Amino acid sequence: MFSFSFPTSVSFGPGVISQLPGYLKQHQLNRPLVVTDSLIKELPFFRKLMEDLRSQGLSPLVFSEINRNPIKSDVLKGKAAYQDQCDGIIGIGGGSSLDVSRAVALSINHHEDLFKYDGLTGGTDLINAAIPYYITVPTTAGTGSEVGRSAIISEDDSKRKRILFHPSLMAKQVFADPELTYGLPPEITAATGMDAMAHHVEAFLAKGYHPMCDGIALEGMRLIWNSLEKAVLSSDEGARSDMLMASLMGAVAFQKGLGIVHALSHPLSTLLDMHHGLANAVNLSYGCAYNQTVCEGQFKRIAWQFGLKQGQTVHEALMEMNYRLGLPTKLSECGVKEDHLYDLSNLAVKDFCLPQNPRPATIDDIKSIYIQAL
């Protein structure tokens, strides 16, 4: 027996952000806490949005003191900013802003230590109080966190990643406007886009029965294969739209699970502060090569989606895609050294994504993949 859930309400399309003020008024959300990062806060679209909200009689409060890899104290500061004066939360940004906004939403009526709610230590059962009205607005096409139900937040000192997870943490409404991604620099577009690709590929290969997620993953990876290069090299508007949709679909698909690529990548962000998308972009090809022998049938279907020639493997094609996008194909190009591999492997083998990988991996397997990727 299985249960499936695809409930998030999404408004999608160029210009759809203009519907936000009316939506807030309709739902009597007069003083939302807007959680974003310090770069987005200064962008023209953000300033205009805040002006539009104010001109319609709303009083948004902006909170932007967050780290690139968010930590607990970011969330506590956001909670303090909310106090009793706000009536909802809007997360605007990439994965970090959306993770913090979701964790702030959790923290408002849950007063134990934040990590008591860690889903990997049984904390999900403690999430039973009301969550403030929560809206998400993505500005990158990668994490798909706008439709997610989890937030990854690190401990301040150890930087260990903790996961807060509950269905009630899903946004009530997503405004996914491709126009907000038009100005993203090529390297961010490429890295976040390959994160979305990793979500589809890993979800499709993950253990478990979920034909709905498998179908979404196959279509999502086809969209990315056909549009990411255009989005990176020419900022083509149609390609930007397809990428935002594919990114959102990725987070729906990975309800099924992720795998070894994310398990390899998480420690690179934790220990070396590497960008999550960049880490996945490099690891994806090596992770696929590792899984090749146990997933022949799935890789044939991926190859068909990509339109690969007879004999061309998916992991080679993904490596070539990195070259075309100007992304690194080796961890050594990203500052990783052999000395780091012991600590990285120790963390990766315990990563919460590894159990869903179709091929089991010991610490020695992981170390040998890191060595190949180095």
Binding site for Fe ion (CB under 5 A): 195
Between residues 133 and 254, which has the closer beta carbon with respect to Fe ion? 254
HEC per residue, 168-186 = HHCCCEEEECHHHHCCCCH
Q: Identity (one letter) of the amino acid at 233?
A: L
Tell me the residue number closest to Fe ion, measured at CB.
Answer: 195
**Least distance (Å) between residue 280 CB and Fe ion:** 6
Residue 276, helix vs strand vs coil: helix
Of 79 and 161, nearer to Fe ion (C-beta) is: 161
Q: Smallest gap, in angstroms, from Cβ of residue 195 to Fe ion?
A: 4
CA distances from 191 to 61, 146, 325, 331 (A): 31, 18, 9, 14
Which C-beta is closer to Fe ion: that of 118 or that of 195?
195
By C-beta, is 195 or 242 nearer to Fe ion? 195
Q: What are phi and psi of 183, to 5 degrees?
A: -90, 5
Cβ atoms of 108 and 85 closer than 8 Å: no
Nearer to Fe ion (CB atom), residue 180 or residue 263: 263
Shortest CB 276 distance to Fe ion, Å: 6
Shorter beta-carbon distance to Fe ion: residue 34 or 284 = 284
Question: Least distance (Å) from Fe ion to the CB of residue 111?
Answer: 30
Runs of H (alpha helix) within the chain = 20-26, 44-55, 72-82, 95-108, 186-205, 211-234, 237-253, 260-272, 276-291, 296-306, 314-325, 341-348, 363-373
CA dihedral of residues 213, 295, 165, 5 (deg, nearest 10): 20
Q: How far is the CB of 198 from Fe ion (least distance, A)?
A: 6
Q: Name residue 332's amino acid.
A: S
Q: How far is the CB of 254 from Fe ion (least distance, A)?
A: 8
